[in-house]
A and B are shown apart, each in its own frame.
Chain A
Amino acid sequence: DADVTQTPRNRITKTGKRIMLECSQTKGHDRMYWYRQDPGLGLRLIYYSFDVKDINKGEISDGYSVSRQAQAKFSLSLESAIPNQTALYFCATSEGQLNTEAFFGQGTRLTVV
């Protein structure tokens, strides 16, 4: 089983719908991140959390919200999906130290029509 699991892996939704992407990890890491990847733009940070009580906005948080339900779970919500939120979304985790690597989930491909 993957250490960082994202569900769903693929999703097509309609404009205006609410959708939640879920991420769970078994690595015991405190830090969790949500990124989106668009062609030509690289990985952009949406939200990040350094523990259950610490939630921070990233570069592109508008239109998104998150919930850190437990150390192991970090969910990303699109309250009212729009077509320009069509992208590949990645969840990642890391330990607390700056010199430790990030571990990524398999990605969720979201299409908003």
Chain B
Amino acid sequence: ILNVEQSPQSLHVQEGDSTNFTCSFPSSNFYALHWYRWETAKSPEALFVMTLNGDEKKKGRISATLNTKEGYSYLYIKGSQPEDSATYLCAPWQAGNNRKLIWGLGTSLAVNP
């Protein structure tokens, strides 16, 4: 079973702060890395799907980088806003996992106004 770790588990920041989270996964047999945002009482929504080592993706104030050789991805939020409060999940897709995503437990972000 693939071991996916996300850190920190939870985070409280003030509005306007920039923050980042980490997703760690085994680097062998890597295919893709997914990031999702999950707001309370809603369903997870995709932020990024990344496949290439060195990939950087950006959506508004949120960006992500990927290092497949060492098995990690960073998610950055610039100038956090209260509406960014959510749980951020990562899920790698790797060979040997029967063609499915393996989900991390997420980083829970709370942005105080």
A residues lining the B interface (CB < 8 Å): 33, 40-45, 48, 50, 56, 58, 90, 98-107
Contacts and interface: CB of A to CB of B under 8 A. Distances in A.
Interface in B32-63: 32, 34, 36, 42-46, 49, 51
B49 A99 contact: yes
B69 interface: no
Contacts of A50: 99
B51 A101 contact: no
Interface of B: 31-32, 34, 36, 42-46, 49, 51, 89, 93, 98-101, 103-106
B34 A104 contact: no
Given A101-B49, A104-B43, A104-B45, A48 B34 contact: no
Contact of B43 (A33, A41, A107): A107
13 contacts: A40-B105, A42-B89, A42-B104, A43-B44, A90-B44, A98-B51, A99-B31, A99-B49, A101-B46, A102-B46, A102-B101, A104-B43, A104-B44
Contacts of A102: 34, 36, 44, 46, 101
A43 B38 CA distance: 11
B32 A98 contact: yes
A99 B51 contact: yes
A44 B106 CA distance: 13
The SS class assigned to the B binding surface is loop
A36 B93 CA distance: 19
Residue of B51, B93, B101 contacting most chain A CB atoms (<10 Å) = B101
Nearest to A56: B98
B32 A99 contact: yes
Residue of A40, A41, A43 contacting most chain B CB atoms (<10 Å) = A43
Contacts of A105: 43
Contacts of A58: 100
